Amino acid sequence: MSNIVQLKPNDTYELELVKRSLIGLRSCYPKFEEWFNEKVYPNVSKSRRVFLATHNGIFSGALILKNTSNEKKVCTLFVNENNRFNKLGTDLIRIASEELETYKLPITVSSEVHDVFSNAESFNFYQTDKRKNMYTKGVDEYLGYILFHNPDRTLHRKIL
């Protein structure tokens, strides 16, 4: 079972761990490191929420949310390949739904990982648009949302 914690501004080691663990996203998002340093770090616990998932003390996933009065969305949802298909992604989506106070979670998905998303039945990803070269030349971005269905509504303490 994974342990998921929300990071605070003074959790510098853990925030750096998240950034280093997600550095591979530069292939889809070349300015990932710059975005993390300029948008995420300074706004942790303000407009950004960062969650770190570990399993037996080892990085297993991360969730980064944008939560402002004008925009609520999933910025980053990542589950380490070794931890896929064990409900960690569903747990992170549940947290996103609670934090953003909605069952309809806006997200943009790179064509490089779209297959992983579209095959994960519990994610219920619905595409609303497709844009070429949005972040990376020659890479499509699928805009849409995840419709989170949770039969156990008691978990949604903020929504109900």
Q: Each residue's pLDDT tens digit in the chain (160 positions)?
A: 679 999 999 999 999 999 999 998 888 888 999 999 999 999 999 999 999 999 988 999 999 999 999 999 999 999 988 887 788 988 999 999 999 999 899 988 887 776 666 555 556 788 889 999 888 888 888 888 888 876 555 444 443 3
Among residues 90, 66, 67, 87, the alpha carbon closest in space to that of 76 is found at 66
**What's the pLDDT score for residue 4?**
96
Write the burial class of residue 115 (CB in 10 Å: 0-12 exposed, 13-18 middle, 19+ buried).
Answer: exposed
Tell me how far apart the alpha carbons of residues 148 and 94 are, in angstroms, rounded to a whole number: 7
**What's the pLDDT score for residue 118?**
57
**What's the pLDDT score for residue 114?**
61
- Locate the domains of the chain by residue range: 3-155
With vertex at residue 3, the alpha carbon angle to CA 96 and CA 86, rounded to the nearest 5 degrees, is 75
**What's the pLDDT score for residue 7?**
97
Q: How many CB atoms within 10 Å of residue 3?
A: 11
CB-based contact 1:55 (threshold 8 Å): yes
Query: Residue 109: in which H helix or E strand, if any?
Result: strand 104-110
Tell me how far apart the alpha carbons of residues 59 and 15 are, in angstroms, rounded to a whole number: 12
With vertex at residue 94, the alpha carbon angle to CA 92 and CA 100, rounded to the nearest 5 degrees, is 100
**What's the pLDDT score for residue 120?**
52
Considering only the top CATH level, what class is 3-155?
alpha beta
The residue type found at 16 is E
- As given in the structure block, the two tokens for residue 37 are 């340093």
